[in-house]
Amino acid sequence: MAFGDYFDEKMYKLQGTEEMKEIQRKKLISRLNSSYSSNEFFRGYCQDKGIKDISSIKTIEDFRKAFPSVSEPRSAMAEMLGKIWKGSLPDTMAYLAGISKKDYTLMCATSGTTGVPTPYFFTEDDLRIMAKGMSRGVWMCGLMPGETVVHAFALSMFGAGVPMVETLIRLGITVMPVGAEGGKEKLFSFSEMFGATVIFCTPSYAEHLIDTEPERVKALGFKRVMCGGEPGAGIPEVRKKIQDGFGCPLTDAMGLIGGMCLFSCDLDEYAGLHHLSDDIILFELVDPDSKEPIPFEDGAVGEFMITALEGNPLGMLPRISAGDVVQVFTEPCKCGNPGWRMKVQGRTDDMLKVKGVIVYPSHIDGVITGFVPRVTGEFRIILDTPPPRVEPPLKLKVEYGEGVKQEELPALADEIGKVMHNKLRIRPQIEWLAPMTLERSEMKTRFIEKAYEKK
Ligand SMILES: [Zn+2]
């Protein structure tokens, strides 16, 4: 298998166009009808929703009216699995997908932002769909066969781990699976030994490498840093730090599982993630509170819902929430690449409301990072009550930078407070900590300290 077996240039160029809407409609209607006739679970699901005649659904609008959106896919799935349990999780998932357990070739799980793993099961067809989606992102950023990728996401049982390695191999891109578990010594020595040209990792791991080994990071001479798994690579201050630290462009990426593919372009000013899998995944926006559809227009903000138009790993559930609140941009991007774009604002479960103002930990991270080296960049949001509602002021613990004097701290806190007030419309209360007080994580960054759990 090689790149050309997965990449379809015609389909790539159709992303985000009017023509694509008709392709989506046809694929959705055909999938609903074929699933209804071949999949016992899906038939039961339709009956539960009171759908008597699947052939009466002819448009995406009909589809939305017939199927309610699923905001909590994890609990909806757990409830459903309980009802149809077939003795084991893989057997039950296979039944749900209308296949047999032996059709699965790979099983893994994403760590999930809540810490509860979400299992994923892949058939050969699902792996092919992932490579198809991913081929468009790597095409857009010019990551072609001939490059050597050092893979530094967590490898073990992680969505962007082995499945990502498998996808790169299919696309003919050489990959070195060091993994985040390998630690930075292995990352440096193997990258030098094998001549890696590109690194894949989380933004917090990229920052960790820059913070601890700035010279060695620069000396690697990478052509590109590819980040995902967290929103950091879309935050201007974090982008600047990673691009300056590595001395090369930074791509922000999202998706992979289910063939979803969102990649940022190389414009100086971050333009969001170009969505390149309209023919594989149907996207919609809904209001995070009422779950009512929001028109998909330039600048619209909402919780995004997805429906797989191909494959099985997302299950057969239509209109499930990915748990993110995003802003979409439908006007063509200045870079000339196809696809509508989106900027992730934050997770629905990370969302904080400080006196009605919506704030995300990633936004606070952006402001704090802008004050490095006077701060280390590490901080925690202290919550005295469960989110999302926060009684002002929002409490932060922030590490001051090496060499910063105690007497300088009140003025620095005041300065940070002013920037937060201008950018985020909140005035935080800052408690200062000495450098290296907070625990460092090489995995997903956790910004929240749940003080209310300790009470
Ligand atoms: Zn662009």
At 422 the pLDDT is 93
Residue 213 CA to ligand 1 center (angstroms) comes to 31
Residue 336 CA to ligand 1 center (angstroms) comes to 6
Residue 249 CA to ligand 1 center (angstroms) comes to 14
Residue 110 CA to ligand 1 center (angstroms) comes to 28
Residue 444 CA to ligand 1 center (angstroms) comes to 26
At 114 the pLDDT is 56
At 231 the pLDDT is 77
At 409 the pLDDT is 96
Residue 448 CA to ligand 1 center (angstroms) comes to 32
Residue 299 CA to ligand 1 center (angstroms) comes to 15
Residue 3 CA to ligand 1 center (angstroms) comes to 23
Residue 203 CA to ligand 1 center (angstroms) comes to 20
Q: Does 59 score more than 70 pLDDT?
A: yes
Residue 341 CA to ligand 1 center (angstroms) comes to 8
Q: Does 7 score more than 60 pLDDT?
A: yes
Nearest-angstrom CA–CA distance, 225 and 146: 16
Tell me the pLDDT of the chain averaged across its residues. 91
Q: Does 113 score more than 60 pLDDT?
A: no
Cβ atoms of residues 329 and 234 within 8 Å: no
Confidence of residue 116 (pLDDT cuts 50, 70, 90): low
At residue 119, the 3 state secondary structure works out as strand
Nearest-angstrom CA–CA distance, 57 and 320: 19
Residue 273 CA to ligand 1 center (angstroms) comes to 8
Residue 266 CA to ligand 1 center (angstroms) comes to 7
Residue 261 CA to ligand 1 center (angstroms) comes to 14
Question: pTM of the full predicted structure?
Answer: 0.82
Residue 412 CA to ligand 1 center (angstroms) comes to 36
Tokens of 50: 């009171």
pLDDT digits 0-9 by tens, 61-94: 999 999 988 888 878 888 888 888 999 999 999 9
Nearest-angstrom CA–CA distance, 277 and 260: 6
Residue 298 CA to ligand 1 center (angstroms) comes to 14
Cβ atoms of residues 221 and 191 within 8 Å: no
Class for the domain spanning 352-454:
alpha beta
pLDDT digits 0-9 by tens, 233-262: 998 889 999 999 999 999 999 999 899 999
pLDDT digits 0-9 by tens, 134-147: 999 999 999 988 99
Nearest-angstrom CA–CA distance, 340 and 350: 25
Return the amino acid letter for 187. Answer: L
pLDDT (mean) for 125-131: 95
List 397's β-bridge partners, or say none. Answer: 380, 431
pLDDT (mean) for 177-184: 93
Residue 268 CA to ligand 1 center (angstroms) comes to 10
Chain length of the chain: 455
Q: Does 444 score more than 60 pLDDT?
A: no
Nearest-angstrom CA–CA distance, 305 and 131: 22
At 141 the pLDDT is 94
Q: Does 410 score more than 70 pLDDT?
A: yes
Q: Does 115 score more than 70 pLDDT?
A: no
Residue 222 CA to ligand 1 center (angstroms) comes to 22
Residue 339 CA to ligand 1 center (angstroms) comes to 9
More confident residue, 359 or 227: 227
At 290 the pLDDT is 75
pLDDT digits 0-9 by tens, 277-332: 999 999 999 987 778 899 999 999 889 999 999 987 555 689 999 888 899 999 99
Residue 445 CA to ligand 1 center (angstroms) comes to 27
Confidence of residue 440 (pLDDT cuts 50, 70, 90): confident
| For helices 361-369 and 409-424, angle between their N-to-C axes, nearest 10 degrees | 130
At residue 89, the 3 state secondary structure works out as helix
Cα–Cα nearest to 407, from 385, 426, 432:
432
Nearest-angstrom CA–CA distance, 263 and 350: 23
- CA-atom Rg of the chain in angstroms: 23
Nearest-angstrom CA–CA distance, 341 and 338: 9
pLDDT digits 0-9 by tens, 258-274: 999 999 999 999 999 99
| Structural domain boundaries in the chain | 352-454
